[in-house]
A and B are shown apart, each in its own frame.
Chain A
Amino acid sequence: MAKIIVVTSGKGGVGKTTTSASFATGLAKRGHKTVVIDFDVGLRNLDLIMGCERRVVYDFVNVIQGEASLVQALIKDKRVDTLNILPASQTRDKDALTQAGVERVLNELRETHDYIICDSPAGIETGAIMALYYADEAIVVTNPEVSSVRDSDRILGILQAKSKRALEGADPIKEHLLITRYDPTRVHHGEMLSIEDITDLLGISLIGVIPESQSVLQASNSGIPVVLDDKSDSGLAYQDVVARFLGEDRQMRFVEMEKKGFLKRLFGT
């Protein structure tokens, strides 16, 4: 039975899609059959970050409305052959997602995949609720700033109240905290919240810290998930996240100011 993981945050621009792309690619690279679904209907980005925007023929909404089959809509990744992408529609809005339709698509995907990654849109409206509704686990992406932490807190409340697991009284969704755009130097100068501040406020377990890095932007622009970049701090940090998710014990890297300087010299980023 496939696991459904939602990547969510409440706030926009914190790195949900970057995380979805890298996390899904990381899982697939380790041999797990993985599909990543873009729930951001109307503002599709995942296909850009995955570098497959020109291969989109049918999308998630087409499948939900029965205009195309899942096989037609799924895009097979060119770099990792165990990875599929289900893009969102750019020309529709979030109301095109129906609960029954989403459930049908997820059930069909469950039969052929190990992991289903749902890339949630920002906000707490229909699209975001649909993305988290069927989730078994959640990765809550947070930037080290107060407004992002507050929105993550809100979305955690929604996970505990409005998800299928919550409504049916099943085991609660397993929540993981992922801090992105972390800059140890600015934390040191008191300009950003520290890891301790954030974990203390949100009270969920930390699955990783992704350092602020130019390589993320470069990777996004060139359509290559940053996790595939072995020379980037961020790429390595995402690899750690995938390893921790799969149960490996890995130390947090790139979270100390001095250490970062050392690694920077080492990796030359």
Chain B
Amino acid sequence: MRNDPRGGQSGRGGQVDRDEGEVRARTPGQRGEVYYSEDPRDVGWVRENIPCQTACPAGTNIPGYIRAIIEKHYGGSYEINREANVLPGILGRICSRPCEDVCRHGWPGNGEPVNICHLKRAASDLKSAGHRITESLYTPSGKTVAIVGAGPAGIAAAHDLSLLGHDVTMFERERDPGGMLSYGIPEFRLPRDILKVELHNALRLGVELKTGIAVGKGEGEVPLSRLLADFDAVLLSTGCMAAIPLPLRGEKKGRQGEDPVRTTPGVEYGLDFLVEHHRGEKKTVGRRVAVVGAGFTALDCARVAKRLGGEEITIHIRTTEKYIPVTKDEIFEAKREGAKIVGLRSPVGLITDESGALTGVRFVQNRLGGWREGGRRQAIAIEGSEFVEPCDTLLVAIGQKTVNDYLDVELGLDRWGNAEVGEGGMTSVEGLFAAGDYVSGAATVIEAVGHGRQVALGLDTWLMGRVRRKEVVRIEPVEGPLRERAFDFIPRQEMPTAALAERFQEPDREVETGLGEDLAFEEAKRCYLCNLKYEIDVDNCIYCRACIEVAPKNCIKLVEGIEIKADGTYGDLAEAHDWDHVEAIWIDNNECIRCGACFMVCPTRCISISRNEIVVRDV
């Protein structure tokens, strides 16, 4: 810890228009102009103080698009989304919402997180029918890129690469693009008209989409080596389209090399079940359906099975509901539709009748073990605690993995079979890049979109021989507070849903019906707009303490020093406990809920507000 040598919060570092090392006791608000900064303190401020944007794998400017909803600029809000995530209407429905887990409004004492995801959807739903998309196009580069796999990562990369002026050709083995979006996620969660429009918009800038064409080594398939020869670069985004086998033990191991899940009537992998269902194949389930698994695929299997006539649907999970990686809303809706979730059990065997058909699943009871990555828990089997649950259909959805048998080039893979890539997304093969689940293993759609964009930038840099786009912080003075203290007491507005009876009468009917304008407005007002930075110019402060008196939180502090981290960003504040040690008065933006009370009460107008946003600019 040391004192901030710049004499207070107003001393901002890193404006591109300042002299090296100069410290200015002047705030952006006073200066009255927009400027861009690469200073690590400004970048660090955004990373630390806008937790939702930092948590979003695509880096979506969430306060920005929510503010646009408050202003009823729905098209503008959609465009802000689209700058980071080319599929807002889709992600506004099916995102895993890592942003909401860290939303400042959800921190202890602040209430419930903002319904960020559904506001994204609101922007998409409420924009005018004639809304026109805005894209900034680069001149043609003359470079060609092939993308294998038209899932979310491939789509996001294709969009960005085409904007950057490259000729992109996509190869997709299925009839339609979208990958898991088209073939994994049920229509009642993601209507296909929304999907088609956003996929079309993502690819309309000259991307050549070749569907029904498989890249591989088989007859009629296009070898990867040929793509590498024909194109300047190739991007693999083939996702994780193989189910992880069920590790059974006991009486039903099957003949050598035989997977009992594939050979036992009534048993199926959840991924295959969903893909075949969405290809239009007729799927059936028994009266009692057991689903094994704890992710979105498992829940989707359960809900589809219910719509196909399953009467008793039970989702069996290894740990407990608290630790499964799906949103609370999805759990609630699955239960509402009649699915039961039972925890602390792992399947160890299949029970069949004389004909070989499934009659039950043998489970072993678990207890919770240590922690895993991502806040999940290990499950430890309790030996001797086996029991049988009768069922007619078993859907196994315990995870997905990559498929690599299509490769005719030698590619560096990790021990899970995922592609190993360098910083820019290039694999061990020169000119061959990889993105999305094919690199990370099975993850979420927003992670795939974020990674697709990131690799597109890396690929562009490699193709062009220089960095052409770079993230900087855009800092804009703001006249006054943009929200009222009363907004903090608005309860979270939940997504309206279709009545249960209607869901089963029309199995594809969208369950979540949309927030609508009024609910969206109320919900948007709840956002703290964490991109607003409140600062005190200590040179003008008379230490009257009026701001401290009106602050609803412990957000304005008298300090004797501020930690400055190795990268130049600010760390912890050392609060002064007696007046003789006060070096500055400081707004703790972590505690600040942007209510504006301090700004309104300040007699010397020494508090300024600026909007700080990460933007991508040309280098």
A-B complex is real: no
Residues of A within 8 A of B (CB): none
